[in-house]
Amino acid sequence: MKIEYTKVGDYYLPNLDYPEEARPIGCWGMLRKEYLKAHKSGTYTYLLLTARLDSYLADLNEQSQEHFELIEAQMRSAEGVTEKLKRQNPMEWVRHCNNIRNRAAEIIKQELIYV
Going through the chain in order, the beta strands assigned E by DSSP cover 5-8, 11-14
Taking only the tens place, the pLDDT of each residue in 64-75 is 999 999 999 999
- Condensed to tens digits (0 to 9), the pLDDT of residues 73-112 reads 999 999 999 999 999 999 999 999 999 999 999 999 999 9
pTM: 0.81
pLDDT of 61 over the 90 cut: yes
Whole-number percent of the chain with pLDDT over 70: 99
Query: Residue 4's pLDDT is what?
Result: 87
Do the beta carbons of residue 72 and residue 104 sit within 8 Å? yes
Please, are residues 81 and 100 in contact by the beta-carbon 8 Å criterion? Answer: yes
What is residue 86's predicted lDDT score, i.e. its pLDDT? Answer: 95
Reported confidence tier of residue 14, pLDDT bands at 50, 70, 90: confident
Domain boundaries, the chain: 25-113
